[in-house]
Copies of this chain bind each other. A is one copy, B any other.
Amino acid sequence: MSTTTQDRILAQLQKAGGRFLSGEEMAARLGISRNAVWKAITALRERGYTIEAVPRRGYRLAAAPDRPFAAEVLRDLPGPRAWQVEYMATVASTNDEARRRAQEGAPEGLVVVAEEQTGGRGRRGRSWLSPPGLGIWCSLVLRPPLAPREVLPLGLLTAAAARAALAAETGLPAAIKWPNDLVLPDGLKLGGILIEMGAEAERVHYVIAGIGINVNQQAEDFPGPLAATATSLRLALGRPVPRVPLLRCLLVELARRYQAALAQGFGPVLDEVRNHCITLGQWVRVESDGRPWHGRALDLTVDGALLVLPEKAAEPVTLYAGDVSIRPAPGGGR
């Protein structure tokens, strides 16, 4: 990303930490005119920054907007990854955009984040409602040295990082529904993960980790059938939730787990998923290529697959794909 005058002025104000900076001083530091400083301040205000101006004292950053601009998301972000944030007001699908960038050679760590997706997607080509300003709609470009078979655990890792960020930032008992949903304990959906890849048979070229989190929707923002299955952090907490700290937390949690998995394998993060997975131990309805069937979800395999013991069967089935919904135990018992 090019550092524009606007970004540089913003960085100065952020660094001043709420103290006043004179326009003259900023102009001198950046080697630009005072008029250019004033223009940048105006543009920043238009983007939602609250900047006080007091004669003879200068400018002061009073408040930043809760919008996932690169400057906000990346500010002092810890962690080993070289994140880049590409902020877009509106996009058809952040996954498609990130994939396009990846195919053009974008490096690992690019985050495409949009206020709105007009054609947001979930698994299996389902649509994902992504209204402007109300959620985190973003996609990360990763380039892990993995085989395609290892991308399923990477998806679970992404879900684990998002779940941890949700829990840390809101205190909600967020959980994972295998393989890719972020839910409340009652199963209402807070968000989801969509992992896509470009790969050779034995080696991944890139992975796109798409993350959608319902943050500030109100009840009326979930039309029709969604109202029965989806919720938002705001609805669960009864107050609006700032998006930028949540996204920052998510990137930090993700980077930590990603580095650990590449160094030591997916064992620890799969244990974390086991501890927070509402699917395990439950009766489930499975739909994969055709006829649905019922069984009990026993465990995750080392590959991230779901081990399900079908009703009236002696041997469990290893499930790599498919729709799994949680059902009451048959006959009320186990």
**A interface residues with partner B (beta carbon < 8 Å):** 123-124, 145, 147-149, 151-152, 154-155, 179-180, 194-203, 205, 289, 303, 320-322
Are A152's CB and B201's CB within 8 A? yes
Complex Cα spacing A149 to B319, Å: 12
Are B148's CB and A203's CB within 8 A? no
Are B201's CB and A179's CB within 8 A? yes
User: Can you report 13 residue pairs joining A to B where beta carbons are below 8 Å apart?
Assistant: A123-B202, A123-B203, A124-B200, A145-B289, A147-B321, A148-B152, A151-B199, A152-B201, A154-B201, A196-B199, A196-B205, A199-B199, A203-B321
Are A203's CB and B152's CB within 8 A? no
Chain B residues with CB under 8 A of A198: 196-198
Q: Closest residue to A145 on the B side, CB-wise?
A: B289
Q: Pick the residue among B195, B202, B321 that contacts A321 (CB under 8 A).
A: B202
The 9 A-B pairs with the shortest beta carbon distances in the complex, nearest first, are A202-B321, A148-B148, A149-B149, A195-B201, A155-B201, A147-B320, A152-B201, A151-B201, A203-B321
Q: How far is the CB of A64 from chain B (nearest CB, A)?
A: 35
Complex Cα spacing A197 to B205, Å: 10
Chain B residues with CB under 8 A of A202: 123, 152, 155, 179, 320-322
Q: Closest residue to A100 on the B side, CB-wise?
A: B103
Q: Closest residue to A303 on the B side, CB-wise?
A: B149
Complex Cα spacing A321 to B151, Å: 14
Are B201's CB and A199's CB within 8 A? no
Chain B residues with CB under 8 A of A179: 201-202
Complex Cα spacing A299 to B151, Å: 25
Complex Cα spacing A205 to B208, Å: 14
Q: Closest residue to A148 on the B side, CB-wise?
A: B148
Are B194's CB and A197's CB within 8 A? no
Chain B residues with CB under 8 A of A195: 200-201
Q: Pick the residue among B152, B155, B197, B303 that contacts A197 (CB under 8 A).
A: B197
Complex Cα spacing A303 to B196, Å: 21
> Which of A149, A196, A201 has the most chain B CB within a 10 Å cutoff?
A201
Q: Closest residue to A180 on the B side, CB-wise?
A: B201
Q: Closest residue to A152 on the B side, CB-wise?
A: B201
* New A-B pairs, 16, CB < 8 Å, besides A148-B199, A194-B200: A123-B200, A124-B200, A145-B289, A148-B148, A148-B149, A149-B152, A151-B201, A179-B202, A195-B200, A196-B198, A196-B205, A197-B198, A197-B200, A199-B199, A202-B320, A202-B321
